[in-house]
Amino acid sequence: MGIQTSDGFLYVHPTFLYESIANFLIFLWLIKCSKNRKYCGQITVWYIILYTFIRFFIEGLRSDSLMLGTFRISQIVSIVLFMVAIALRNRLKKI
C-alpha cells in the first residue's frame, strides 16, 4: 500500500489489517480456551498478554508513531502492560 506524497509514493504496512487479523485469531483461541478456565480472570489476562505481545511488533511497523527519544510510546506501553499481565496471571493462579 502506498500514500501519495509530493515526492511520489510512501509505501507503508497495513498495520490496521495486521492488527485486525491478530485480534480475530486471539478471539478464536480465547473462545476455545474459555471452556477450560482454571481461575477467574484467566481469559482477560490472556487477552492482555497476547494483544500487547502482538501490538509491540505491529507498532514497530508503523511510520507515524509518537516517539520518546528513540523508543515508540506504544511499544513502551505494550511492554509495561505485558509485564503487568504476566505478574497478574501468576498472582491469580495462587488465589
pLDDT digits (tens, 9 = 90+) for 17-37: 999 999 999 999 999 999 989
What local confidence, expressed as pLDDT, does residue 74 receive? Answer: 94
Asked if residue 41 belongs to a domain, the reply is: yes
- What are the residue ranges in the chain where pLDDT is below 70? 1, 95
pLDDT at 69: 86
Q: Domain for residue 1, yes or no?
A: no
Tell me how far apart the alpha carbons of residues 43 and 27 are, in angstroms, rounded to a whole number.
10
Task: Tell whether 5 is covered by a domain.
Answer: no
Q: Supply the pLDDT for residue 45.
A: 95
Provide the pLDDT for residue 50.
Answer: 97
Residue 38 domain-assigned (yes or no): yes
Range of the domain at 60: 14-94
Cβ contacts of 58-63, under 8 Å, gap ≥ 24: 58/15, 58/18, 58/19, 58/22, 59/15, 61/13, 61/15, 61/18, 62/13, 62/15, 63/10, 63/12
Query: Is residue 2 one of the residues assigned to a domain?
Result: no
Contacts of 29 (CB under 8 A, 6+ apart): 50
Give the model's pLDDT for residue 58: 95
